[in-house]
Amino acid sequence: MDADHDNLQLDCRGMKCPRPIVEIAKLRRRESGPVLVRVTGDDLAFESDVRAWCEVTGNALKNLSSDQGNVVATIEFGARA
């Protein structure tokens, strides 16, 4: 993994379903990958939806942590075919 591409951040705090997932998908479309992205969200649906998005789209969910109502998901966008 290229270190320069290791620090993409996406702040989805304050956004409610379906917005965070739409924002992740928009970022995915801009990045040709592979790249690591840290996404922060505080919607109650965020954790469950981020898991589902990664599973359906085939992008790897590397880490998921929560801290005081904020959930931080680290996603590795796969290389594009």
Partner 1 sequence: MALGATTPPSPRLCLFCMSGQWDRLYAAFTIANGALAIGQEVDIFFAFWAASTMQSASGTRRRGLLGRLMGLMMPSSVGAAPMSHLHFGGLGRRLMSFVMRREGVDDLPVLIKQAEELGARFHYCDTSMRLLGFAAPDPKAVSGEVCGVTTFLSAARGAQVLFI
Can you tell me which of 2, 3, 58, 65 binds partner 1, judged by CB under 8 A? 58
Taking the C-alpha atoms of residue 64 and residue 51, their distance in angstroms, rounded to an integer, is 9
**Closer residue to partner 1 in complex, CB, 16/66:** 16
E strands present in 3-69: 8-12, 35-41, 60-67
Q: Binder to partner 1 among 6, 7, 9, 18 (CB under 8 A)?
A: 18
- CB distance 24 to 13 below 8 Å: no
The residues of the shown chain that bind partner 1, judged by CB under 8 A, are: 14-19, 21-22, 24-26, 28-29, 33, 52-53, 56-59, 77-81
